[in-house]
A and B are shown apart, each in its own frame.
Chain A
Amino acid sequence: MLEVRDVTAGYGRTMVLEKVTLAVPPGGAVAVMGHNGAGKTTLLRVAVGLLPVRSGRVFLDGDDVTGLRPSARVRRGLGYVPQGQQAFPQMTTLENLRLITTTRERIDDVLDTFPALRGLLSRRAGLLSGGQRQQLAIARTLLTQPRMLILDEPTEGIQPNVVAEIEGVISALTERGDLSVLLVEQHVGFALRATSSYCVLESGRITSRGDGGPAAIDAVRAAMAV
């Protein structure tokens, strides 16, 4: 579904990713883990098209999308929930959703997934809590009807009661079968529960790979302790 092949990328003179290769099969879910500064977010930004590659290619459904802008990749089925509970702050919750579609049924469907947003539709997104904004960010991305969903630390900085809800939604999405997921997550236990395989990124290189599931937790912790 998504393949990042031999990608080198960075900012200015600083190279953050060095020849990284990663593939997410159709319907599969892959977790990317690593310490802060390892290059996880940079990898996702390359996959989405927000950061150009220095070398290497990005494929979506077998098509080379390396030169395509993010909006063109979204139309090809890529969905992206960025780090930091991002919303359009001066637009209301409903306007954030109506940016993607004005079809009432589709909006109702995502609100069924995040019922807490129903009472906040007329509130400006900039005035929502971090957890509410993250729910809005996931709901908005789901409205783009992605077949490949990329999530960057979706539970980071969110109050625990909302974390459980978001984890539940993401786990359900990864089990749907018609949706591929690439998940960057600091919370190793949740990441391994929600995905079928993992890789560990350290200093811009993939240092470890394996099957997901709770049994992999020790292997991942060992890889990240190096």
Chain B
Amino acid sequence: MDSFTTPLLAGTATGALLLIAALGLALTFGQMGVINMAHGEFLMAGAYTAFLTQQVVTNADVSILVALPAAFVVAGLLGLLLEVTVIAWMYRRPLDTLLVTVGVGLFLQQLAKDVFGAQGDPVRTPSWLEGNLPVFGYHWPYRQMFTIVLAVVALAALAALLKYSSFGRQIRATVQNRDLAETVGVRTRAVDRITFFVGSGLAGIGGVAVSLISGTNPRLGTAYIISAFLVVVAGGLGQLKGTVIAAFAVGIATSFFADWTSASMAQVATFALVVVFLQLRPQGLFTVRSRGLA
């Protein structure tokens, strides 16, 4: 039973981390079509925010609760800055955006190395997340379970924002038909900026979750960025439910492959699996159906 439950439960937690990273991308890439390769560095910024928060709020039980909104704001502001200074000038130029944001990502990594050092810093786990829950022989760490709770809360908040709020309708309208949205009074530039803030902020929350599991590291984001993009593409652009299924599928598959082979071979096998899937279904898991072209 161990050989099944261990990779399943650990993979579910990995999937949850991927989901938080991918939710932000589902907004900025899936909805807005911007390939932001610096998104992983927003994850890293979230992790360092958790670390810095612990330097100020030394009680680890409390600091993590402060770090979550702080990381959302820090990563969100970084995303907003990137949108205003770089990406706003490159809409409809995906290759340019990709190249420039790779550069921005490398710059942020170097900045983190210069400020915090090349070695990572540990982030202390709050006492209420220490320990584990025995499940069919696997001692499931509370930290991993917390990641899943965080992913579910982030998903529910984002889905509710998109579905029920006035701002959510404005995001969806802008994504579906930018010119039409403008002509019904939606300030699409403001929507772009706030969407980027929210998408990047979600990566910051993901960074806090990652910091609890592996501490901080200037290159922390690179481990997640490619997988997160794969998740969004495999899930189907503009579809949150596809992103959710793809995130857990990739997380669990990677975990099983790692159990059978090695961590690096698991990445290769998972990527190969996604590539084969996209060959068979290039539009991803879910597609948008429409009667007309409108």
Contacts and interface: CB of A to CB of B under 8 A. Distances in A.
Interface of A: 48-50, 69-71, 74-75, 80, 82, 84-91, 95, 98-100, 102, 124-130, 133, 140-141, 144
Given A126-B291, A130-B292, A88 B173 contact: yes
Given A91-B172, A126-B292, A102 B166 contact: yes
A126 B185 contact: no
A82 B292 contact: no
User: B interface, how many residues as a size bin?
Assistant: 20 to 34
Contact of A99 (B173, B188, B294): B173
B176 interface: yes
A86 B294 contact: yes
Given A88-B176, A90-B176, A91-B169, A99 B186 contact: yes
A74 B180 contact: no
Given A90-B172, A91-B173, A133-B294, A100 B185 contact: yes
Contacts, number: 88
B168 to A, nearest CB: 10
A140 B184 contact: yes
Residue of A99, A128, A133 with most chain B CB atoms under a 10 A cut-off: A99
13 contacts: A70-B179, A71-B188, A74-B185, A80-B183, A82-B179, A86-B294, A88-B173, A91-B169, A91-B173, A126-B290, A126-B292, A126-B294, A127-B290
B166 A144 contact: no
Contacts of A144: 184-185
A115 to B, nearest CB: 21
A82 B178 CA distance: 13
Contact of B180 (A88, A102, A126): A88
B254 to A, nearest CB: 31
Q: 10 closest Cβ contacts across the A-B interface?
A: A126-B290, A74-B185, A70-B182, A89-B290, A80-B183, A88-B176, A127-B291, A70-B183, A99-B169, A71-B187
Interface string B267-294: 0000000000000000000001111111
Contacts of A89: 176, 288, 290, 292, 294
Interface string B97-140: 00000000000000000000000000000000000000000000
A182 B187 CA distance: 24
Contact of A95 (B169, B288, B292, B294): B169
